[in-house]
Amino acid sequence: MKGDVAEDQDNVFASVTPGEVLAEEFLAGYGLTQSGLARALNLPRHRVIGIIHNRHRITADTALRLGIFFGTTPEFWQNLQAHYDLKMARRALAPEVVEQIVARRVA
């Protein structure tokens, strides 16, 4: 993983959660409240609050609802979540574990 472009980017940029993007770029941009978004998406309020506070992940169902409501693709929301999850996993993976994994190459 050393020298990996994604690893370099992880070290440069702070971890931005999908919930932060939702809150800062979408809720603030559209003048919405968390409760208002929950009502519009027909979701429990605690789910939206949990996403914003990084206690809940954006599921496929929620990504579909967000995409419909904001006119984005569900993949946009799923990619935000996947990117964040990979960044956290990369940071948590101990270097000694990485060294123990032997890469296989096609002959």
| pLDDT (tens digit per residue) in 31-57 | 999 999 999 999 999 999 999 999 999
Predicted confidence (pLDDT) at residue 4 exceeds the cutoff of 60: no
Whether 93 is in a domain gets the answer yes
Angle at 52 between CA 38 and CA 67, to 5 degrees: 55
30 lies in some domain: yes
In this prediction the pTM is 0.80
Q: Is 105 a domain residue?
A: no
What CATH number does the domain containing 73 carry?
Answer: 1.10.260.40
From CA 107, how far away is CA 104, in angstroms rounded? 9
Structural domain boundaries enclosing 84: 5-100
Confidence check: pLDDT of 1 > 50: no
Q: How many domains, the chain?
A: 1
**89 in a structural domain:** yes
Is residue 107, in this structure, part of any structural domain at all?
A: no
Within-domain flag for 84: yes
Q: How many residues does the chain have?
A: 107
More confident residue, 17 or 1: 17
Burial per residue of 52-82, b for 16 or more beta-carbon CB atoms within 10 angstroms, e otherwise: beeebbbeeebbebbbeebeeebeebbebbe
